[in-house]
């Protein structure tokens, strides 16, 4: 574990375990590197070098009152990859982290020697509804998230984890209090200004051109019951824009499916990594 300081003085916290081919994990909003702990341990045991880091303003990285945009997130990742000397790395991103992977691989993947990528329950091509993206979510949805953060972010985070993120609002859902508590713990570690800014970033950034230029193999994974990033306006569109994309969908699985169903997701990731 350690930190690096990037160009604007922000400190980025990271974990780096093991040897072998590197896998870099990119977490979702408003969480931290800890969200990938079960995958980190699983792939460490399989002989990979596993790296995860806290996005600026999230987790143990510095609070970030500015530069909370996707270009900067990608540049931060590039700085970390260069610092660690990672070669032939696989990048895996969930939700906002999937957008981060997309922008990073499009902008920096060639010079960094990225070998493969995974975007899981991910925000590309673009989330917000517009004339050119009629299937997107109305801006009112994201305004509501911002209002919830500003009013009482601690309670908002409790409700978010207890409801649609893991599908715990579905009849008969098997609820894990530990998963809910861990989500809230991670969210509360971060900086509310950075989290607030990131809502605009994850909802309004358009990744269409990024997806078109990526030429490494990309696995697009999405739960068919994702209530946070609906599959029809995300994975089903993204895979059509990729030059070398493969789509894998999961009936009835939620947005946070790698946490609720690691016994399903981890072997599928391994098969892609080894293919």
Catalytic residue numbers, as ranges: 95, 226, 255
Closest CA to 93 of 264, 218, 237, 194: 218
- Number of neighbouring beta carbons within 10 Å of residue 28: 31
Contacts of residue 162, defined as CB under 8 A and 6 or more positions apart, other chains included, come to 168, 169, 180
What is the C-alpha to C-alpha distance for residues 139 and 123, in angstroms, rounded to an integer?
15
Cis bond before residue 153 (omega within 30° of 0): no
Q: Is the dihedral of CA 191, 187, 11, 70 positive or negative?
A: negative
């Amino acid at each position: 574990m350690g930190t690096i300081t990037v160009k604007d003085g922000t400190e980025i916290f990271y974990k780096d375990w093991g040897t072998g081919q590197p896998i870099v994990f990119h977490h979702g909003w408003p969480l931290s590197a800890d969200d990938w702990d079960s995958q980190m341990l699983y792939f460490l045991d399989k002989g990979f070098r596993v790296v995860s880091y806290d996005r600026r303003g999230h987790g143990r990285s510095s609070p970030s009152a500015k530069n909370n945009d996707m270009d900067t997130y990608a540049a931060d990742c590039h700085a970390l990859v260069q610092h660690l000397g990672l070669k032939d790395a696989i990048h895996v991103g969930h939700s906002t982290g999937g957008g981060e992977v997309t922008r990073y691989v499009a902008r920096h993947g060639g010079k960094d020697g990225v070998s493969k990528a995974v975007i899981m329950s991910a925000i590309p091509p673009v989330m917000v509804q517009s004339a050119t993206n009629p299937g997107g979510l109305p801006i009112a949805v994201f305004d509501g998230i911002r209002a919830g953060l500003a009013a009482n972010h601690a309670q908002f985070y409790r409700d978010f984890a207890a409801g649609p993120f893991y599908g715990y609002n579905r009849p008969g859902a098997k609820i894990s209090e530990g998963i809910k508590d861990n989500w809230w713990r991670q969210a509360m570690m971060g900086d509310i200004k950075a989290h607030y800014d990131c809502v605009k970033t994850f909802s309004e950034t358009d990744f269409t051109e990024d997806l078109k230029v990526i030429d490494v193999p990309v696995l697009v994974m999405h739960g068919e019951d994702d209530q946070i990033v609906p599959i029809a306006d995300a994975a089903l569109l993204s895979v059509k824009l990729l030059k070398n994309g493969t789509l894998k969908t999961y009936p009835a699985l939620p947005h946070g499916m790698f946490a609720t169903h690691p016994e399903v997701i981890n072997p599928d990731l391994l098969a892609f990594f080894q293919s």
